[in-house]
Chains A and B, each alone.
Chain A
Amino acid sequence: MVTTVLFYAFAAILLVAALGVITARNPVHSVLFLVFAFLQSAVLWLLLEAEFLAITLVVVYVGAVMVLFLFVVMMLNINVEELRSGFTRYLPLGIGVALVVVIEIANVIWFRSEGQAFVTPTPHAADYSNTKELGGVLYTEHVFALEIAAMLLLLAIVAAITLTMRTRHRPGLKVQDVPAQVAVRAEDRIRVVKVGPVKE
């Protein structure tokens, strides 16, 4: 009962946030609405007892990917006026596509599920740990997928560096080497010379 109420509440907020993403005038507001939507999704996943995935969604998606979004949105000079100009022209097509999707979903939910109740997942015991269950399967049965995921992350490192690294160390360009500067000792720079008295 409580979970149903919570589901509807958070799903409603999710819908509002999703609408906010596409209708906000300021692109930064749009990104912040998206962050809000992800937080609601995380709570919905938590209601499905996928606690690890919910936390991962917040930590990785909101914490890293959305920060990257914000970088780009805040530092690019996006002319929102120009982007918005085709809104009313494409509105009929957009409504058409949305209608198709809604009809499909309604078809499945109302017509095809006659007599079949949606099965809610059986709630687990209080000491159930979704993370532990996930770990138990991921590192034994699906270890191949794990290693391929590691290769994918490695590939992303190489691709990011290939695409964006502009090295300062071109030949002929003088650069400061701060660690070397800090490691300088007095003996390397100063030589104390004994000078005798000046004779007239």
Chain B
Amino acid sequence: MTFTSAHLVALLPIVVLGGAAIVVLLLAAFSPSRRVTTGATAIALAATLATLPIAARVIPLDVSPLIRIDGAALLYTGLLVACTLGVLGLSTAYLKGLGESVGELCILLVTAALGAAVLSASSHFASLFLGIELVSVSLFALLAYARDEKPNLEASLKYVILSGVSSAFLLFGIALVYTELGTLEFARIAELVPLESASSVYIAGGLGFVIAGIAFKMSLVPFHLWTPDVYQGAPAPITAFLATVSKGAVFVVLLRYFMLADAYAYRPLIVALSLLAGASMLLGNVLALLQNNVKRILAYSSIAHIGYLLVAFIAGGAVAIESASYYLAAYLASSIGAFGVVAILSSGVEGETQTLREYRGLYWRRPWLAAVFSLMLLSLAGIPLTMGFVAKFYVVAASIDASLWVLLALVIVGSGIGLFYYLRVLVTLYLEPDDVTPDGARAAAAPSGHVVLAVASVAVIWLGIFPAQLIDVVRALAFTNG
């Protein structure tokens, strides 16, 4: 195939991210200054966001059989790179508190963002695998960033081993699908699956294994066992990264598979995903009730949220893309905010600010942080005037449209249970501090982190009151593929 300049323009976000990785690598090797490296990374990620409108002029375009740049790809790339920028802002103060160098973090964040961009544009199983590996290997090193702390090493080791196993399942599933269909491209799979000559054993088995591998990364039940331990042990900003970009990118590639390979017509896959979604909503919410550690509560709640996201997605049709994209944006903004508060409070604190006791009376010590945390918790719970409420409304509307009554019931029950533990944390923030509560002033100053929280809060409130703006963007972009 011939590569024209249009291909290069379409690839611009990915090329800029690749160039950014090189530049940050050289900066980290040669210059010891923290500000230069983090500044350059922030500029590079912002530049990637700036190239999105430029690339939007030549969409939709198939660049090599592996990726397809269309409106949806650019939209999701934008969301995920923005989240990476947020995580970068949150981690500068955290690392200064730890006394670790910041160069490697910047490099790894950029390569993970590159992986997320590849996943957002993927239209082939090979780019699916390459993107997942880029994000995973970056996370292996990011999770163990403070190498001398036992919790970090434990979290990283658990993630490495389980990620390796799930990648093995993923590859085996891809191989099985290839055995039957002879192609790995999503579009060709769409043509070949409905044919009579396609043997369903290989396809069903293969796609089952692929879903198993992907469900691990999205921490759906029953592949969720690693989630609370890894989230708890990881450095707080990296937990934010895990909860947002890692899950979001894998969900985006699942969405692209369903759209490009027309998998809505393949019933076994829908049934499997419905089971996973239902179990995640139930177990995620129920297990969070028993936790006393804020990070674990947020981990279980993220499992439940991915369950809700899948319900919007299973509904199928045009409503599915719209509601799933909006829910994804709401989830990303709220998670960055919630984990961001945890990260800022943990900067420079030995053992991180994790248990619920340490959050007691936060409002009386750090009112701004408590207010942001309250807002994020309300958004995650789905209280009106926040983005989370509109997102949940969309999920309910989509499932009513598609008559998914069981899943709808689970959404409602799950949200009800979720309200309990969200309110529990919320109330703790406003209680009178007692003698056991540590002084909140010990966390280091984090100016960039506060900026990130401010942006997230504004997004959650603004897009919660005026959701139409985001919906219009989603409608304009996500439907420009053929």
Residue positions of A touching B, CB distance < 8 A: 104, 107-108, 112, 140-145, 147-149, 151-152, 154-156, 158-159, 161-163
Contacts A107-B201, A112-B199, A159-B140 given: A154-B25 contact, CB under 8 Å? yes
Q: Would you call B130 an interface residue if the criterion is a C-beta within 8 Å of the partner chain's C-beta atoms?
A: yes
CB-contact partner of A151 in B114, B144, B199, B201, under 8 A: B114
B114 to chain A, nearest CB (A): 6
CB-contact partner of A159 in B108, B127, B199, under 8 A: B108
Q: When chains A and B are docked, how far (Å) is the Cα of A140 from the Cα of B130? A: 18
Contacts A141-B65, A152-B130 given: A159-B138 contact, CB under 8 Å? yes
Interface pair A151/B18, CB less than 8 Å apart: yes
Nearest to B143 among chain A residues (CB) is: A163
Q: Would you call B141 an interface residue if the criterion is a C-beta within 8 Å of the partner chain's C-beta atoms?
A: yes
Contacts A156-B137, A162-B145 given: A145-B130 contact, CB under 8 Å? yes
Of the candidates B108, B141, B202, the one having the most CB atoms from chain A within 10 angstroms of its own CB is B141
Q: When chains A and B are docked, how far (Å) is the Cα of A158 from the Cα of B106? A: 11
Q: Would you call B147 an interface residue if the criterion is a C-beta within 8 Å of the partner chain's C-beta atoms?
A: yes
| Extra pairs beyond A158-B111, A163-B144 (8, CB < 8 Å) | A144-B11, A148-B134, A151-B114, A155-B138, A158-B104, A159-B137, A162-B108, A163-B140
Neighbouring B residues of A140 by C-beta, 8 Å: 1
Q: When chains A and B are docked, how far (Å) is the Cα of A41 from the Cα of B473? A: 51
Q: When chains A and B are docked, how far (Å) is the Cα of A155 from the Cα of B134? A: 8
Of the candidates A147, A148, A155, A161, the one having the most CB atoms from chain B within 10 angstroms of its own CB is A155
Contacts A107-B201, A162-B145 given: A155-B108 contact, CB under 8 Å? yes
Contacts A104-B201, A107-B201 given: A144-B64 contact, CB under 8 Å? yes
B429 to chain A, nearest CB (A): 35
The SS class assigned to the A binding surface is helix
Neighbouring B residues of A161 by C-beta, 8 Å: 104
Q: Would you call B21 an interface residue if the criterion is a C-beta within 8 Å of the partner chain's C-beta atoms?
A: yes
Neighbouring A residues of B229 by C-beta, 8 Å: none
CB-contact partner of B111 in A107, A141, A154, A163, under 8 A: A154
CB-contact partner of A145 in B64, B138, B147, under 8 A: B64
Nearest to A155 among chain B residues (CB) is: B111
B197 to chain A, nearest CB (A): 10
Q: When chains A and B are docked, how far (Å) is the Cα of A101 from the Cα of B130? A: 28
Interface pair B108/A158, CB less than 8 Å apart: yes
Q: When chains A and B are docked, how far (Å) is the Cα of A80 from the Cα of B1? A: 54
Q: When chains A and B are docked, how far (Å) is the Cα of A158 from the Cα of B107? A: 8
Nearest to A164 among chain B residues (CB) is: B147
User: What 3 A-B pairs come out closest when comparing CB atoms?
Assistant: A159-B141, A144-B64, A162-B104
Q: When chains A and B are docked, how far (Å) is the Cα of A122 from the Cα of B144? A: 50
B150 to chain A, nearest CB (A): 15
Q: Would you call B477 an interface residue if the criterion is a C-beta within 8 Å of the partner chain's C-beta atoms?
A: no
> What bracket does the count of chain B residues touching chain A fall in?
35 or more
CB-contact partner of A144 in B63, B108, B137, under 8 A: B63
B126 to chain A, nearest CB (A): 6
Interface pair A154/B141, CB less than 8 Å apart: no
Nearest to B180 among chain A residues (CB) is: A108
Task: Map CB proximity to A onto B52-93 as digits: 1 under 8 Å, 0 otherwise.
Answer: 000000000001111100000000000000000000000000
CB-contact partner of A141 in B1, B131, B147, B201, under 8 A: B1
Neighbouring B residues of A163 by C-beta, 8 Å: 140-141, 144, 147, 156
Q: Would you call B118 an interface residue if the criterion is a C-beta within 8 Å of the partner chain's C-beta atoms?
A: yes
Q: Would you call B384 an interface residue if the criterion is a C-beta within 8 Å of the partner chain's C-beta atoms?
A: no
Q: When chains A and B are docked, how far (Å) is the Cα of A141 from the Cα of B130? A: 17
Neighbouring B residues of A151 by C-beta, 8 Å: 18, 21, 111, 114, 134
Q: When chains A and B are docked, how far (Å) is the Cα of A142 from the Cα of B66? A: 8
Q: Would you call B133 an interface residue if the criterion is a C-beta within 8 Å of the partner chain's C-beta atoms?
A: yes
B26 to chain A, nearest CB (A): 12
Task: Map CB proximity to A onto B96-109 as digits: 1 under 8 Å, 0 otherwise.
Answer: 00000000100110
Q: When chains A and B are docked, how far (Å) is the Cα of A104 from the Cα of B141? A: 38
B132 to chain A, nearest CB (A): 11
Neighbouring A residues of B147 by C-beta, 8 Å: 163
Q: Would you call B440 an interface residue if the criterion is a C-beta within 8 Å of the partner chain's C-beta atoms?
A: no
Q: Would you call B205 an interface residue if the criterion is a C-beta within 8 Å of the partner chain's C-beta atoms?
A: yes
Contacts A107-B201, A156-B137 given: A147-B18 contact, CB under 8 Å? yes
Neighbouring A residues of B64 by C-beta, 8 Å: 141-145
Neighbouring A residues of B138 by C-beta, 8 Å: 155, 159
B window 1-24: CB within 8 A of A? 1, 3, 11, 18, 21
A40 to chain B, nearest CB (A): 19
Neighbouring B residues of A112 by C-beta, 8 Å: 199, 201
Q: When chains A and B are docked, how far (Å) is the Cα of A112 from the Cα of B64? A: 35
Neighbouring A residues of B63 by C-beta, 8 Å: 144
CB-contact partner of A104 in B127, B133, B205, under 8 A: B205
